[in-house]
Amino acid sequence: GENVEQHPSTLSVQEGDSAVIKCTYSDSASNYFPWYKQELGKGPQLIIDIRSNVGEKKDQRIAVTLNKTAKHFSLHITETQPEDSAVYFCAASMGGYQKVTFGTGTKLQVIP
């Protein structure tokens, strides 16, 4: 089955700096890669996603990149703010009803 590895497990950045979280996946059949943000005491919330036919996608301060050949994908957050502090999960799926396999999470702390 699919295996998703995520690094780093914790990340501290100064407010205004950029943060990068990296993931790798194992199953070349995966074609959908969402990213979720989980705030304390809440369920994960989808913040951005990318499909395998796209190399990069941006939404304001966040962007995702995908390298299908290397089976790598990354989340980039620019101009970080204290409200970006949360746990971020990458994931991979074959789409449709197929299950989503999650990485182990990255706890991001933005220091004011």
Partner 1 sequence: NAGVTQTPKFRVLKTGQSMTLLCAQDMNHEYMYWYRQDPGMGLRLIHYSVGEGTTAKGEVPDGYNVSRLKKQNFLLGLESAAPSQTSVYFCASKTTGGNGYTFGSGTRLTVV
| Binding footprint of partner 1 on the chain (CB under 8 A) | 1, 4, 6, 9, 32, 34, 36, 41-46, 49, 89, 96-97, 99-105
How far apart are the C-alpha atoms of 84 and 82, rounded to whole Å? 5
Shortest separation between residue 104's beta carbon and partner 1, angstroms: 4
Shortest separation between residue 47's beta carbon and partner 1, angstroms: 9
The CA angle 34-37-42, to the nearest 5 degrees, is: 125
Distance of CA 91 to the CA centre of its chain: 7
Which tokens sit at 73?
Answer: 């994908």
For partner 1, the closer of residues 13 and 48 by Cβ is 48
Shortest separation between residue 72's beta carbon and partner 1, angstroms: 18
